[in-house]
Amino acid sequence: MSLFSNNRLDNSMPSHHEGTTIIARGVRVEGDFIAQGDVTIEGDVTGHVTAEGTLHIGAEAKLKAEVSADDAIIAGSIVGSVIVKKRLEIKSTARISGDVTCETVTVEAGAMMDGKISVGATATERVAE
Amino acid sequence: MHKGNYIFIYDEFLSDKKYERLLSNVEQRLATLDIQGRIGRLTLFRNPKDLVEGMIKGQVGSTVVIVGNDRTLERVMWFLPDLDVIVGYIPMCAPQDMGKLLGISQGVEACDVLGARSIEILDIGKLDDRYFLTEVCLPRTSAVVEIEGKYRVSAKFGGSISIRNLGNVSSGALGLSDAKDGLLEVVIKPQTNSKSRFWNRGEMPETRILMRGGSILSQEPVDVLADNFSVNGKKFQLDILKARLRVITGRRRLVSAGSGSTGGLKPIDVHGTLSK
């Protein structure tokens, strides 16, 4: 085949930004933080956090925020309500001061929580309404 | 056989004797591949926009081949997206990071990429009114990035900010973003808090956020580099223009090996035709 016969116009390469949104240590976020896909937070956030995927809140993260996500793993500190549509995992280092609503929850020994916890499908449906 | 309208833009430094042999080899290879066109030469006092526009006058769909290095490409990138042209690149010497991101080798090998004419349509970033292909960067700053008017992100104790379209060429290590997703990637690398140096646990990790647009806000005037072109100010608008520039790229263009651009770089066959 001739070298010159390939005059292709190729715009079909798939996007490769399936990666996680990362708020790393040493970074501050203020406002309505909304992310499609998974989110990892190790920094500071003030305002609202919405993740349309799995939200990982690391042990060093400090949030003063209303938090909502499809699934969440919390190891850091949150002052504000937490709404998780499906599965919530609270690690031993977590400090949550606010109401928590989720469909299922696992809590490790050592986690500190100050607020009302509503668990079950009806609880998340009630919040969605 | 493809015979397009080729225009070659030579950088001024190529008139130096030390490039004579390499340039001659490139021209010979182009002749072998039957790629011919008019040559324009950039000079210090010649406006590159006037030069290119003058050469493509009346020729729709011309291929403008930049012959030089990344600095040469940067000198023309700010106006090329406004022209109905296909962009080719022959890197002749360092810096040639943009060539690497586009899968184009140096010198004679770049002629074969040109001959293969594998064209990708890439997004173009915009910093206020200025186009950029690779990135906008603030090497050391306490500026804030406002994302889609919804929230603000900043490094607590300052750091570097890079807003990437094709990738990072400013920090020494290549970093690649997806220039076909209609998004800009914000990468913030905080500097360590000097007060807590005792507790310093090595290099600070990077923050990565994708956005459709936003702005850079600073209380003090700051220098912002768009494709290495410096602009000074306190507020800058950032936008992305989807599928705006047709570029001839190499078949083994670098793409991110992991999720986002955190997993290193590897060459892949972006055109899906590379022989195994």
Report domain extents, chain A: 19-128
d(CA A83, CA B93): 55
Substitution target in B85, B119, B151 with the highest count of A β-carbons within 10 Å is: B151
d(CA B254, CA B264): 10
CATH 3.40.50.2300 fits domain B126-242: no
CB contacts of B190 in chain A (<8 Å) are 24-27
Percent of chain A surpassing pLDDT 70:
85
Taking an 8 Å cut-off on Cβ atoms, the answer to whether A33 and B151 are in contact is: yes
ipTM here? 0.83
d(CA A70, CA A54): 6
CB contacts of B208 in chain A (<8 Å) are 19-22
More confident residue, A128 or A15: A128
d(CA B249, CA B100): 10
Burial environment of residue B26 by CB neighbours within 10 A (0 to 12, 13 to 18, 19 or more): buried
Looking at residue B86, its pLDDT comes to 96
Substitution target in B209, B242, B255 with the highest count of A β-carbons within 10 Å is: B209
CB contacts of B30 in chain A (<8 Å) are none
pTM: 0.86
The series of mean pLDDT values per 10 residues for chain B, 276 residues long, is 79 96 97 94 93 86 94 94 95 94 94 94 96 94 96 96 90 80 95 60 83 96 94 97 96 56 50 42
Cross-chain CB nearest to A26 (options B112, B119, B157): B157
Looking at residue A16, its pLDDT comes to 33
Where in chain B do CATH 2.60.200.40 domains reside?
126-242
CB contacts of A25 in chain B (<8 Å) are 190, 204-205
Whether A13 has its CB under 8 Å from any CB of chain B: the answer is yes
Looking at residue A53, its pLDDT comes to 93
Where in chain B do CATH 3.40.50.10330 domains reside?
6-117
CATH class of B6-117: alpha beta
Among candidate residues A7, A66, A61, A122, the one with its CA nearest the CA of residue B271: A7
d(CA A11, CA B210): 20
Taking an 8 Å cut-off on Cβ atoms, the answer to whether A17 and B271 are in contact is: no
